[in-house]
Amino acid sequence: MLDTKTDNPLTAGTNITHAPQPCTLVIFGGGGDLTRRKLLPAVYNQALEGELPANFAVLGLSIEKMDDVKYREFARKGIEQFSRKPLDKAFWGDFEKRFHYLQGSFDNPEFYVQLKQRLDEIDSQFSIPGNHVFYLAIPPALIETCVCQLKAAGLVMPVDDNSPFSRIIVEKPIGRDLASAHKINATLCSNFDEQQIYRIDHYLGKETVQNILAMRFSNVIFEPLWNSRYIDHVQITVAEEEGVGTRAGYYDTAGALRDMIQNHILQLLSLIAMEPPWSMDADVIRDHRQNVLNCLRAITPENFDQHVVRAQYGAGFHHGEDVPGYRREAGVSQDSTTETYVALKVFIDNWRWAGVPFYIRTGKRMPKRTSEIAIQFKSVPPILFNSNHDQPLEPNVLALSIQPNEGLSLRIATKLPGTKLRVFPVKMDFRYGSTFGEQSPEAYERLLLDVMAGDATLFMRRDAVESSWAWVDNILNIWASSRTRWLPEYSAGTWGPLEADRLIESDNRQWRLL
């Protein structure tokens, strides 16, 4: 039974979520970069803060030659370098005993026999009741092999109250188009129940993203205005400062549309635009997000140029140093037409958002790393304080900063001090770090705890993945049919191509300065 009683005024009136359950976290790709940089530091931070269950262990799986001792050293180095909290040597001395390692090839059936035996030993050692979370931190090509072998080895438990749980976490990208995503999902769902599958998008674990629902539906001042009557447009920006770096091999076959928009940005869009849910149940929230994706207006060849811009970064400057253009990066084809920048004008054809444009932009080699959702309200009538047509008042803007400084701000108009009546825009600013005095947990920390607790709210369901791909595939197909040989360029260190400015300026609007 949920307990809503609390002495903490900050959480008064909220339901307490389910606690993480005892389990072994099994990481396929346990010796990889994602594990070292994100997963093991996330586990450590949550353990240090007392969030993990007492009966908990980690088993890393990889082809690299290591044993338990060397794997604990691998984990310690990753934590020392990437953890948001410094390594507590006294705490680590005991906690490291929960880290284990098994070497082997993922396509060898004998390896899964060994895995089952090792899990039995670890579960017995730490009094874990057979609950397992399998994290696939591996290339998409290996998903089918690992999933089928887990099922064949008897490591996937049925979904019922009498069995230990088996849950699987799948990293993006889930496919590179609708057909491949459907194939991966079919494999997952033929071996696991949909309730057991957690398709992870780390953006949904960021504090500000989690706060979108709380901001909208726990403050009466926002929801009555959250519609086409009061909102002029919405801007979503995800800017990356770095180039392709060591990811050139992957990126040149993917591009910004697949890498950022299909998963991250469309999920942000669905949270901002969804209808009020009647419950905080995971599937209720995901149903409402899915309804937004169902209402996305398709982009057609006839209106394509008015709704889509793609480009590549050219040579420029990064922190005062010369950097090469995309087609001069190591590992990138010199005649590549892979986009490193995309700008879109998107419409949601439902009653709430009819006629409201959502402007989306994302790119690499931009002036700084930042992600923001900005809701710009309509201007007040051109009378009284807004009667000067040459200097109209700036409209109200609610801006949600997702990274690097999580928080939100609200721009309002107010009178300047003095005897004259002058109105000036001011910004009311909230930042998690300065208000609450501590750094927000990393996204993977929250998401791992949610899987252990069986809460799928912040994870993508099969229909969301495939609906997103269906919408994006339409754009990809139009690009493919155009046979474009060269893309517009923007200088590295700038906010994108002139074509993107024209996209929004044709509607008498401008991109926000970030």
Q: How confident is the model at residue 338 (pLDDT cuts 50, 70, 90)?
A: very high
Greater model confidence, 418 or 226: 226
Nearest to residue 457, comparing CAs of 209, 166, 158?
A: 209
Q: What is the mean pLDDT of residues 197-226?
A: 89
Greater model confidence, 350 or 411: 350
Pairwise CA distance, residues 4 & 2, whole Å: 6
**CB-side neighbour CA atoms (13 Å) of 60:** 30
Q: Decide if pLDDT at 132 tops 50.
A: yes
Q: Give yes or no for a contact between 32 and 137, defined as CB atoms under 8 angstroms apart.
A: yes
In sequence order, what DSSP letters do the residues of 391-431 get, joined into one string? SPPPPPEEEEEEESS-EEEEEEEEEPSSSS--EEEEEEEEE
Q: Decide if pLDDT at 3 tops 60.
A: no
Q: Decide if pLDDT at 7 tops 50.
A: no
Q: What is the mean pLDDT of residues 422-448?
A: 80
- Report the relative pairing of strands 357-363 and 341-347 from DSSP bridges: antiparallel
Which of 129-133, 165-169, 325-329 is predicted with the least confidence, judged by mean pLDDT?
Answer: 325-329
- Report the relative pairing of strands 321-323 and 316-318 from DSSP bridges: antiparallel
Angle at 182 between CA 341 and CA 483, to 5 degrees: 40
Which of 18, 264, 318, 389 is labelled catalytic? 264
Q: Decide if pLDDT at 172 tops 70.
A: yes
In sequence order, what DSSP letters do the residues of 283-330 get, joined into one string? HHHHHHHHHHHHTBPPP-TTTHHHHEEEEEEESEEETTEEE--GGGST
376: DSSP letter: E
Residue 18 backbone dihedrals phi, psi, to 5 degrees? -65, 145
pLDDT value, residue 6: 39
- Tell me which CATH code domain 205-505 carries: 3.30.360.10
pLDDT value, residue 387: 66
pLDDT value, residue 459: 94
pLDDT value, residue 8: 39
For the domain made up of 23-171, give the CATH fold.
Rossmann fold (3.40.50)
pLDDT value, residue 12: 38
Q: Among residues of the chain, what percentage have pLDDT more than 70?
A: 95
Nearest to residue 195, comparing CAs of 459, 407, 8?
A: 459
Pairwise CA distance, residues 64 & 67, whole Å: 10
Delimiting residues of CATH 3.30.360.10 domain(s) in the chain: 205-505
Residue 345, helix vs strand vs coil: strand
Question: What's the CA dihedral at 176, 78, 268, 346 to 10 degrees?
Answer: -50
Pairwise CA distance, residues 120 & 71, whole Å: 19
State which amino acid sits at residue 424.
Answer: F
- Report the relative pairing of strands 231-239 and 370-377 from DSSP bridges: antiparallel
The per-residue pLDDT for range 24-40, each reduced to its tens digit, is 999 999 999 999 999 99
Pairwise CA distance, residues 338 & 310, whole Å: 9
Nearest to residue 35, comparing CAs of 9, 10, 61, 13?
A: 61
pLDDT value, residue 301: 92
Q: Decide if pLDDT at 365 tops 80.
A: yes
82: DSSP letter: H
Which of 127-131, 203-207, 364-368 is predicted with the least confidence, judged by mean pLDDT?
Answer: 203-207
The per-residue pLDDT for range 53-83, each reduced to its tens digit, is 999 999 999 999 999 999 999 999 999 999 9
Q: Give yes or no for a contact between 431 and 424, defined as CB atoms under 8 angstroms apart.
A: no
Q: How confident is the model at residue 88 (pLDDT cuts 50, 70, 90)?
A: very high
Q: Which residues are annotated as a binding site?
A: 172, 202, 206, 240, 259, 364
Question: Is 264 labeled as catalytic in the residue annotation?
Answer: yes
pLDDT value, residue 419: 67
Residue 321 forms beta bridges with which residues?
318
CB proximity list for 5: less than 8 A, separation 6 or greater: none
Q: How confident is the model at residue 490 (pLDDT cuts 50, 70, 90)?
A: very high
Pairwise CA distance, residues 363 & 342, whole Å: 6
353: DSSP letter: T
Handedness of CA 240, 243, 246, 252 (dihedral sign): positive
Q: Which residues are annotated as a binding site for substrate?
A: 202, 206, 240, 259, 364
Q: How confident is the model at residue 15 (pLDDT cuts 50, 70, 90)?
A: very low
Q: What is the mean pLDDT of residues 98-120?
A: 97
Q: Decide if pLDDT at 5 tops 70.
A: no
Q: How confident is the model at residue 260 (pLDDT cuts 50, 70, 90)?
A: very high
Q: What is the mean pLDDT of residues 244-255?
A: 88
Q: Decide if pLDDT at 266 tops 50.
A: yes
Residue 363 forms beta bridges with which residues?
239, 341
Q: Which residues are annotated as a binding site for NADP(+)?
A: 172
Which of 317-321, 490-494, 507-511 is predicted with the least confidence, judged by mean pLDDT?
Answer: 317-321
Delimiting residues of CATH 3.40.50.720 domain(s) in the chain: 23-171
